[in-house]
Structure 1
Amino acid sequence: MPRVSIIIPVYNGANYMREAIDSALAQTSSEVEVIVVNDGSRDGGATAEIARSYGDRIRYIEKENGGVSSALNRGIAEMRGRWFCWLSHDDRHLPEKVSTQLAFLDRNPEARIVGCNFEIIDEHGRVTSEFREHLSIVRTGREVLSSWIYGCGLMIDRAALIDAGLFNESNRTTQDLEMWLRLAERNPIHLIPDVLAQFRQHAEAGSQTETRYQREKDELFARILERFDAAYFEPAATTPRLRADLYWFLATNAMARQSWGGAKLAIARAWREWPSPRNPAFKARVIGPRLAVRMRVLLHAPRRVAGRLFRVIKG
C-alpha cells in the first residue's frame, strides 16, 4: 500500500505532461502511487494517449470537464496513500521530494502539512530562478497571504484535506489560495528549506479568460472577508484600530493580486472599523493625507474605476 499519492490533474496537457509523469515516477521513494486525472481534455485524444502509454505504472482516470478543483477532488477520492501531493501537468517534482518530506513527517509526527522551496523553469525545462520562502511555519491567514505557498511543493495529510472541506469546485482559477487558508486555520503549514519542485512558466499557463479570472479573484476576497474571522489573520487584532490595519493589509494584498473588487471591500471594512474615519490619524496612518479625498470617491466607484484608482494608489 503506498504512503504517498501524487495526483496530476490535466486538461489538454500533451505538451508537458510526460515530463510531469516521469518526474513523479522518478521519485527515490518506493512508497508512491501516481494518479493522472484527465479533466475532459479536448485535444483529439493526445492527452489520453500519453497517459495510457504508461500502462500500469500509473492510475489513469477520465472525467467530464469540471476544472482543476474537481479533478483534484476526484483524485483525493481515489487515492490509496495517506499523504497527498499535487503535481500540475506542466510542473515537475525533483527525485528527492517525496523521501525528503516523508523524513520530515517521520521526525515530526504532529505535522500534517509540509511544503518546500522550488525552482522556476521555462518552456524548455531550463532553470531560470529559484524561490526561497523565509518562513519555516505558517499559522495565520496573514502569513498565508504574505508567503508564497506553492501547491505542487506541498505534502498534505488526506484527512486534513477532508477536514478542510476539499477544494472549492466552484472556483476554477484561484482554488489553491482559498484551500491554504482553510488548511492553515486548522493545521500549521511547515515549510522546509529544500528545493524539491519546479514551477514552469510558459505561454500556455493561465490560459483562462481574464474576465473569469478577475471575477473569481474578487469573489475569493469577498469569501475571505466573509468566511474568516479577523483574529485568524492577526491574533493581536483585538481593537478597532488594529482590525482597521489588518483590513488595510488585506486590501493591499488584494491590490497586489489585482483584485480591485476585493481591495475595495477590504478598504470599506477598514474604514468602518477605524474608531473615527474622519479623524486625521486615520488618513495619515491608513491611506495618507494625499489619498483621503480619492478614498471617499473610490468606496463608491464602479469596479472598473476602482481598478484605475488602485493603480494610482500603488504608484
Structure 2
Amino acid sequence: MAMRNAEATIAQTLESLLAQSFTDWELILLDDGSQDASVALARGYADARIQIFADHRSRGLAARLNEAVALSRGALIARMDADDIAYPERLARQVAYLDAHPEVDLLGTGAIVFDNAGEVVGALPMVTEHQAITARPWAGFYLPHPTWMGRRYWFVKYGYDERALKSQDYELLLRSHRTSRFACLPEILLGYRQDVLSLRKIFDSRIQTVRAIARQAVRQKEYAWMVRGVAGQCLKFAVDAVAISTGLNYRLLRHRALAVSVADCAAWRQVWQDIQRKVDRQCAA
C-alpha cells in the first residue's frame, strides 16, 4: 500500500485490515512524501504485521507498488489504497479462491463506492470471468484496482510501468491480459472512497490511458484498438468536463456507479460503523 497525505483516512484503512478474519498477512506501507501526519498516525498502530517505510520522497504510485512487491514475502499480493476500507472477509475470500483456482493469476472483487461521510454512492461495475473482463481491452477492464489480489510471481513478471502516472492498473492489464488469467468475485468486499471529481486529475488520467493504448496497440499490432480507445477516451473526457463545469460531478459519480441492493447497503453501514468505533477507540487511547 502506498500513501500520500492520508491523515484523514489512514486510520480507517488500517482498522479495516486489523479486523480481517484472515490474520496471516503483512502490510507493506510505503509513504510517498506525505507532508501531513500520515506516517505518525500509522506508527501509532503497534502491530508487528504493519511495516512502514518513509524516505521523504515522492516517487509516484507505480514506483511505490513495485517497491512494495519487492519488499513483500508472501506468495500472494493484495492491493488497496490508503483511503479504502476492506470488509472483514475480504482477504479470507480471495485467498480461498486463489488456493482453489491455481490457474488464476489476478483476482478482484466487487466494491461499493462511498463518500467521505460514509454514504453509499453506488457500486463499481464488474464482471466475473476472464473472457468478459478482457472482452474490450481498448475500452477498459472491469477489474477494480484496489480490490486486486494476485500471485507474487505475476506482479514480479509484469510489474507496473512507472511511466504510467495515472493509469498504472489499466496499462498493466492491457500489457498482460493475453498471457494471464483474471477473475473477479461477485461479492462486495471493499469500500472504495470517491468524494469529488477533479477535472485536472481526470484529464491526466485520460492522457495516460491514451498513451498506454497507443504503446500496446503498436506493440501488439492492434491498430483498431488505438482508434477505438482514443475516440472513447476523448468522448468520456468531454462528458466529464461538461458534468464538472456545470456542477453535476456528484450526479456523474452516481451515473457511473451501479445500483446497490438494500442488503449490500445494510452490510456497508455495519462495516462503516464498526470501523468508526475502532478509530474512535484508537484516537482515545
Q: Secondary structure at the match of 2:38?
A: helix
The aligned residue for residue 255 of structure 1 is 234
Q: Secondary structure at the match of 1:197?
A: strand
Gaps of 5+ in 1: 1-7, 231-242, 260-315
Specify whether residues 102 and 194 from structure 1 end up closer, same or farther in structure 2 by C-alpha distance, changes over 3 A only.
same
Q: How far, CA to CA, are the matches of 1:196 and 1:33 in structure 2?
A: 19
Task: Work out the number of aligned pairs and report it.
Answer: 235
One-letter amino acid of the structure 2 residue matched with residue 254 of structure 1: Q
Task: Note if 1:79 corresponds to 2:58.
Answer: no
The aligned residue for residue 129 of structure 1 is 122
Q: CA deviation at 1:249?
A: 3.3
> Could you give the per-residue CA deviations for residues 158-183 of structure 1, whole angstroms, max 9, x where no partner exists?
1111111x111122211111012223
Q: Secondary structure at the match of 1:178?
A: helix
Q: Which has the higher contact order (CA 8 A, sep 6+)?
A: 2
One-letter amino acid of the structure 1 residue matched with residue 17 of structure 2: A
Task: Note if 1:59 corresponds to 2:51.
Answer: yes
Q: Secondary structure at the match of 1:161?
A: helix
Specify whether residues 135 and 30 from structure 1 end up closer, same or farther in structure 2 by C-alpha distance, changes over 3 A only.
closer
Equivalent of 2:39 in 44, 48, 54:
48
Q: How far, CA to CA, are the matches of 2:205 and 2:103 in structure 1?
A: 36
The aligned residue for residue 144 of structure 2 is 150
Equivalent of 2:23 in 22, 26, 30:
30
TM-score (norm: length of structure 2): 0.74
Q: CA RMSD in A?
A: 2.5
Q: How far, CA to CA, are the matches of 1:25 and 1:17 in structure 2?
A: 12
Q: Secondary structure at the match of 1:87?
A: coil
The aligned residue for residue 163 of structure 1 is 157
Q: CA deviation at 1:217?
A: 3.5
Q: How far, CA to CA, are the matches of 1:113 and 1:144 in structure 2?
A: 19
Q: How far, CA to CA, are the matches of 2:138 and 2:92 in structure 1?
A: 25
Q: Secondary structure at the match of 1:115?
A: strand
The aligned residue for residue 303 of structure 1 is none
> Could you give the per-residue CA deviations for residues 268-298 of structure 1, whole angstroms, max 9, x where no partner exists?
xxxxxxxxxxxxxxxxxxxxxxxxxxxxxxx
CA contact (8 A) 2:140 2:170 kept: no
TM-score (norm: length of structure 1): 0.67
Specify whether residues 209 and 151 from structure 1 end up closer, same or farther in structure 2 by C-alpha distance, changes over 3 A only.
closer
Q: CA deviation at 1:125?
A: 2.0
Give the greater-gyration-radius structure (CA).
Answer: 1
Q: How far, CA to CA, are the matches of 2:181 and 2:138 in structure 1?
A: 10
Between stretches 69-78 and 133-142, larger displacement belongs to 133-142
Specify whether residues 88 and 206 from structure 1 end up closer, same or farther in structure 2 by C-alpha distance, changes over 3 A only.
farther
Q: CA deviation at 1:148?
A: 2.4
Specify whether residues 169 and 146 from structure 1 end up closer, same or farther in structure 2 by C-alpha distance, changes over 3 A only.
closer
Q: CA deviation at 1:83?
A: 0.8
> Could you give the per-residue CA deviations for residues 25-59 of structure 1, whole angstroms, max 9, x where no partner exists?
2111022111211011122xx01111111133411
One-letter amino acid of the structure 2 residue matched with residue 142 of structure 1: R
Q: How far, CA to CA, are the matches of 1:195 and 1:18 in structure 2?
A: 21
Q: CA deviation at 1:146?
A: 4.4
The aligned residue for residue 183 of structure 1 is 176
The aligned residue for residue 222 of structure 1 is 214
The aligned residue for residue 195 of structure 2 is 202
Q: CA deviation at 1:212?
A: 4.4
One-letter amino acid of the structure 1 residue matched with residue 194 of structure 2: Q
Q: How far, CA to CA, are the matches of 1:198 and 1:91 in structure 2?
A: 6
The aligned residue for residue 291 of structure 1 is none
Q: How far, CA to CA, are the matches of 1:214 and 1:145 in structure 2?
A: 12
> Could you give the per-residue CA deviations for residues 3-22 of structure 1, whole angstroms, max 9, x where no partner exists?
xxxxx210111111111111
Q: CA deviation at 1:92?
A: 1.4
